[in-house]
Structure 1
Amino acid sequence: MPALGRSFAFLWSSTALSNLADGVLKIGAPLLAVSMTRSPVLVSLVGAAATAPWLLLALHAGAVADRADRRRVMVVANAARAAILTAVALLAALGLLDLWVLLAAVLAAGVTEVFADLSAQSILPMTVPDDRITKANGRVSSAQMIGNDFLGAPAAGLLVGILPAAVFGAPALLYAAAGLLLLGMRGTYRLAVPGSAHRPLRRDIGEALRHLWSHRVLRSLAITAGLLNLANSAYFAVFVLWAVGDGSMIGLEPGEYGLMTTAFAVGAVFGSLLSGSVAGAFGDFRTVVGAWLVSSLLLLAPLIVPSPWTLYPTAVLWGLVGAGGNVLVISIRQRLIPAELLGRVNSAYRLVGMGGMPLGAALGGVVAEFAGIAAVLAGATGVCLVGVGLVWRALSGRISRPVTSAPTLSDISGSR
């Protein structure tokens, strides 16, 4: 990591630990929920609780990231979720864990995640030169995938069966360590914008929303991301019922479900690290839209052939194209958005892009309850394909150029 600097090394290390904690929670919470109920509606509430804070708090968290020291925001957020999860781990050890305590824990962790993640994306361009942003994002994304899926997911599968309290206790320790590592970053990470502390918060938020809406490229990407995330949230909110248990179509054990997300992480690590090279050959937008299209079509595989032998290679491909596209989209945003607006416009983008996730998770549970899980999986795939079609149409002039003249970020920086 020396080529990217000391501060980035501490940021990367903190990201790796916090995402390992995220991975244990992301898989452990729904697996605990499945052990408490087989109701699609109740299980889907776990996904809704994890993502609802993005809908409620993203804009305010982005404004805080532009006003406060971004490193300090991340330290406080990590300390807060460490304390919250320690308390829940104690409740679980005392036998007081039920579905509603589980939902409250996931919701509280989600609140702190909003502040930590938005500040993390906004602080990264302050730690590396502009020409290394894509490389740095690739490193961060690979750390996220290794932590979330390669290590955290199988660990969660084991902990659920052995010691449920550790599903909360282990992440608490990891978040605390992640916060301490951030203290190794030297300097200040607060933008000195004259008068920003005295402006009304709603004015800052309004400025970000106007900037996002007036920028055709950012607006198109945000709307498509919103549709894809809504559909994927519905899909994966009930997918655990399609994949895990004696009554499921695939029939995985909890530990085997964790291995599925490990397979996803393997692909994601390669996708993260190779994204810059692929985009250099095909162009940023052609690569992003192609990745989104392939990812959407792959959602059909577990529906058409519900078998572990199909699921694991599909998960690898999900990770490969999903992470690769995600790295490029993040890098595009970081380069197109002015530094003094980065936290707020990032938050506005993620509100549009992720705000529909709790709705999608809840909707997936309701539809599955009345029409079956297969209807949710097929319907979510259809919505994803519609979203890809919309962004293809909006950016067709750039996507359809020959490879030799594929657009770069400098070509579009003035698009509004």
Structure 2
Amino acid sequence: MDTLVFKSKSFIILILAKFISSIGTFIQSMAFALYVIDKTQSGLLFASVLMVALVPRVLLSPFCGVIVDWLNRKRLLVTLDLISGGLLVTIALLIGSGEISMPVIYGIAIALGVMSAFDEPMVMTIIPSIFKEEKALNAANAVNMIVLALGNLIGPMLGVLIYTNFGIVITLLVNGASFLFAALIQTFMRIPTDNVSNEKRTLSKFRTDFAEGVRYIWHDKRMKTILLCIIIQNCFFNGATQVGIPFVSRVDLEVSNTQFAFIEVVVIVGAIFGASLSGVLKKNLTADQLFVRMINIIGVAFLCIGIVAFGVINNSQISFYLILALYLVLGITSINVTIAFQAELQKEVDNKLLGRISSIVMALIMASVPIGQGLYGWLFDVFPSEVPFIISALVILVIAFSYRQVMNKKQYESEKNTVYPST
């Protein structure tokens, strides 16, 4: 990883702010999960809280990108963190030592879901505002991924600790304080404002700018090909990992609660390790070559999980730890696909358009997750456990092969049309 990114004061502040606020968010998410289950004993209500937080991100993200492209990004980032922190602290103080009703929980989840719809496109656009070189972009994206993964690792553990010892209201105060502190330190960032123009911002202009983002993706054949491959891969990847691996571990292998908890930890560790190695893995490779290589490894890993799930090993403990090792490989490879794709977006797209384009892209990718989860829930009910993993392996290997064929064809056509000087 290129350590030069740590010489940028603005980047360090951005990453520190994201780290602190992500820990606060994961603390609250875990506390809400425990609170709703404890108070209602309802799986449906628990799932509904998760859904209402996700829906605003999926529905609003494409449109939030236009606003990110219009406004001063630093000011918008600080303002949204102030609103999030102020809202949480105010609710916590109003409730006092009382209990939180389900409507209040839904309201908080929706409000924070709306705020987070702005977050990803803002970070995506701020990073290339700070760094222009491809190597630095890759390193900065890798650091961002490591920070999010660490937040995902530390936050839930702290969430359990704080909720168990101090209750749900204190978790709101902690998350609110994390947002307010993030807003405070982000005021010291220096971010270029070349995306801001004096054009009049109207509904008609909003529609035009949004349509411009859609047209850009549609007419850029390479971007469209990569995006289609990632959406399909993401659907089958998330279905197999988020539904399949926990299902097989608990139902077929009958692992303990402690072993079951390792599943989430392993993929986060894989993401951290993979992001740390991103510079080494990409060395001397183009983004297209890295993409194909990582996708191939993912396909082979799923094939191996399918073989283990078939029951070729009679010892369930050995089978479980083999699956965990393969899950670690999946975490390492998948994070590098994400980092490479983000860097390509940041490098190829004009920063003035990056907010709307990246937000549309991320919303499409995010929408594939529940589709994959639903599909694999059905597959594991209908077929033996090894079949869904083998389906994932075959689909993902076909994606890698198809993408390589498309890129080879484009390279051939490019070389064919090249005019060489006469000797």
Provide Cα deviations, 1:283-311, integer angstroms capped at 9, x if missing partner.
32232233244446656749828756346
Contact 2:121 2:359 in 1 (8 A): yes
Corresponding position of 1:271: 274
The answer on 1:96 being equivalent to 2:100 is yes
Matches within 5 A, 1:216-365: 216-231=221-236, 234=239, 242=247, 249-253=254-258, 260-295=263-298, 298=301, 301=305, 304=309, 309-310=321-322, 312-360=324-372, 363=374
Are 2:394 and 1:390 equivalent residues in the alignment? no
Structure 1 pair 377–104 and aligned structure 2 pair: CA distance change class (3 A): farther
The structural deviation recorded for 1:245 is 8.8
SS at 2:257 equivalent: coil
Q: Is the CA contact (8 Å cut-off) linking 2:292 and 2:403 kept in structure 1? A: no
Shift of 1:140: 1.6
RMSD of the TM alignment (CA)? 4.1
In the alignment, what sits opposite 2:138? 134
Amino acid corresponding to residue 65 of structure 2 in structure 1: G
Q: How far apart are residue 239 of structure 1 and its match?
A: 6.8
Q: What is the distance in 1 between the residues matched to 2:163 and 2:107?
A: 18
Alignment of 1:141-220 (within 5 A): 141-149=145-153, 151-159=154-162, 161-165=164-168, 166-186=170-190, 188-189=192-193, 191-193=195-197, 195=199, 197=201, 200-220=205-225
Structure 2 counterpart of 1:108: 111
Contact 2:142 2:275 in 1 (8 A): yes
Rounded to whole Å, the distance in 2 between the matches of 1:373 and 1:29 is: 33
Out of 69-78 and 311-320, give the one that drifted further: 311-320
**Could you tell me how far 1:213 is from its partner in structure 2?**
1.1
Give the partner amino acid of 2:24: A
* 2:74–2:191 contact (8 Å) kept in structure 1: no
Give the corresponding residue for 2:420: none
Task: Report if the CA contact (8 A) 2:298-2:396 is conserved.
Answer: no
CA offsets 1:16-55 (integer angstroms, 9 cap, x no match):
2222234334555545555567776555444433332232
Amino acid at match of 1:347: S
Distance (Å, rounded) in 1 between the aligned partners of 2:126 and 2:141: 12
Change in Cα spacing, 1:241 to 1:143, as seen in structure 2 (3 Å) is: closer
* Shift in alpha-carbon separation, 1:207–1:196, aligned structure 2, 3 A: farther
Give 1:413's aligned residue. Answer: none
Secondary structure of 2:255's counterpart equals: coil
DSSP-derived class of the 1:281 partner: coil
Aligned length: 398
* Maintained 8 Å contact 1:22/1:148: no
> Contact between 2:291 and 2:337, CA under 8 Å: does it hold in 1?
yes
Q: Is the contact made by 1:228 and 1:384 (CA closer than 8 Å) also made in structure 2?
A: no
- Contact residue 70 and residue 195 of structure 2 kept, 8 A: yes
Aligned equivalents of 1:193 and 1:391: distance in 2? Answer: 41
Q: CA, structure 1 residues 17+295, in 2 after alignment: closer, same or farther (shift >3 Å)?
A: farther
Q: Relative to structure 2, which stretch is displaced further, 194-203 or 276-285?
A: 194-203
CA distance 1:92–1:252, change in 2 (3 Å): farther
- In structure 1, give the amino acid aligned to 2:332: L
In structure 2, relative to structure 1, the CA distance for the partners of 1:381 and 1:7 (3 Å cut) is farther
The alpha-carbon deviation at position 240 of structure 1 amounts to: 9.8
Report the alpha carbon displacement of residue 204 of structure 1 after superposing the two structures with TM: 0.3
Corresponding letter in the other structure for 2:345: R
CA distance in 1, matches of 2:90, 2:296: 42
Aligned-partner SS, 1:197: coil
- Paired residue for 2:418? none
- Among 83, 86, 97, the alignment partner of 2:86 is 83
In structure 2, runs of 5+ residues without a counterpart are 415-423
**Alpha-carbon deviation of 1:15?**
1.9
Q: Is the 8 A contact 2:30 2:156 kept in 1?
A: yes
**Structure 1 unmatched runs, 5+:** 408-416
Q: Does residue 118 of structure 1 match 2:121?
A: yes
* Paired-residue identity, %: 17
